[in-house]
Copies of this chain bind each other. A is one copy, B any other.
């Protein structure tokens, strides 16, 4: 059997005040097109479907379109769990009513113990269990057990699911116990973080051992935005739908195609998708960046520009946006280095004439002439009551 494991869509996310919805739609269209050409038995979304508990209307409409395409047009069942960004109750509205249409939204502990069972020739019955995002307090309250950490909570939930699974299926005569896939939204200890994740708790107490998950045939994880496996080849993060921070510029985003066979886990393959606007960091001096930008094949990418220039520049954003319209953030480490190296004091100590000379060059694009320079010195002398400091 084949299924797609994806997570962290974060529909409705803003990035430096720019809506990413069109990019998200473009990537989801690639996903739909992939499934149309390469049918799968299920699509799993391991949480953070929306970016916030009350998503914008346009994000709801996009998700509505996606589920209609995948569940109805392509007749492929989908299984969602709620993540830490989702509003579980809000996401779970109508979940019971949608099951028959092939949309399974698991957002509470009651539904956690009822697997979605999908049967194929290759792998027989496979039971998909979704563990909605949870924190220790919720687990303590729901199960009335002393649970102090995310780790203990996930151990309890994984054990509860497996115990329940074996009890439910072990008494059937002549039929093997179904294989198991766990869907969970958590931070597996030792896995790699990205800049765009929201911490589940402060101080590292959100880490969960992958050991709790080794009883399953495959574990489809969400929360971390970099695709990766952790502990075992069958315990994986698909990574986020697309890049959500400049720090992810070199990550390959997409979904994971998982195959199971009679023995259980068989393979996991990354299927790459790309958003229309990539997130990139460009570094260098302003003029060089603008010069190179004129032949950049992707000038519309979302950019962080790091200027290495060490002198003040008038309206750098405006200048950059003439070639790169989507510069979203500007850093000036050159200026910072200057300050750190006591250049700042030197700069402050510069005289009015020198500062005006810099300003004139920036504003006009040319140097002061000798006459202009002398005229400015006279004016400064009259205004300040002492001759201009710079007599070059």
List of B residues within 8 angstroms of A92 by Cβ? 64
* Chain B nearest CB, measured from A237 CB (Å): 27
- In Å, the complex CA distance between A101 and B60 comes to 21
Answer whether residue A282 sits at the interface, using C-beta atoms and an 8 A cutoff: no
A100 (CB) vs chain B CBs: closest residue: B100
Answer whether residue A360 sits at the interface, using C-beta atoms and an 8 A cutoff: no
Answer whether residue A205 sits at the interface, using C-beta atoms and an 8 A cutoff: no
Q: Which of A65-73, A125-133, A254-262, A363-371 has 4 or more CB atoms under 8 Å from chain B?
A: A65-73
Question: Which residue of the partner chain, among B63, B90, B95, B101, contacts A96 with CB atoms under 8 Å?
Answer: B101
- In Å, the complex CA distance between A57 and B92 comes to 11
* Chain B nearest CB, measured from A9 CB (Å): 15
Interface size class of A (residues with CB under 8 A): 20 to 34
User: Quick check: B72 and A60 within 8 Å, CB to CB?
Assistant: no
Interface residues of A in 160-196 (CB under 8 A from B): none
List of B residues within 8 angstroms of A101 by Cβ? 96-101
- In Å, the complex CA distance between A143 and B71 comes to 29
A57 (CB) vs chain B CBs: closest residue: B89
User: Quick check: A94 and B103 within 8 Å, CB to CB?
Assistant: yes
Answer whether residue A392 sits at the interface, using C-beta atoms and an 8 A cutoff: no
User: Quick check: A93 and B60 within 8 Å, CB to CB?
Assistant: yes
* Chain B nearest CB, measured from A94 CB (Å): 5
- In Å, the complex CA distance between A89 and B95 comes to 17
User: Quick check: A68 and B96 within 8 Å, CB to CB?
Assistant: yes
* Chain B nearest CB, measured from A121 CB (Å): 27
Answer whether residue A54 sits at the interface, using C-beta atoms and an 8 A cutoff: yes
Answer whether residue A340 sits at the interface, using C-beta atoms and an 8 A cutoff: no
User: Quick check: A64 and B94 within 8 Å, CB to CB?
Assistant: yes
List of B residues within 8 angstroms of A57 by Cβ? 87, 89-90
Answer whether residue A342 sits at the interface, using C-beta atoms and an 8 A cutoff: no
User: Quick check: A97 and B96 within 8 Å, CB to CB?
Assistant: no
List of B residues within 8 angstroms of A99 by Cβ? 101
Answer whether residue A61 sits at the interface, using C-beta atoms and an 8 A cutoff: yes
List of B residues within 8 angstroms of A63 by Cβ? 93
Interfacial residues, chain A to chain B (CB-CB below 8 A):
54, 57, 60-61, 63-64, 67-68, 71-72, 87, 89-90, 92-103
Q: List 6 A-B contacts (CB under 8 A).
A: A54-B54, A64-B89, A64-B95, A71-B97, A97-B103, A100-B100
Given A68-B97, A94-B103, 8 additional A-B pairs, CB 8 A: A57-B90, A60-B89, A64-B93, A64-B95, A67-B97, A71-B97, A94-B97, A98-B101
Question: 8 closest Cβ contacts across the A-B interface?
Answer: A97-B101, A97-B98, A57-B89, A100-B100, A97-B103, A94-B94, A60-B93, A94-B98
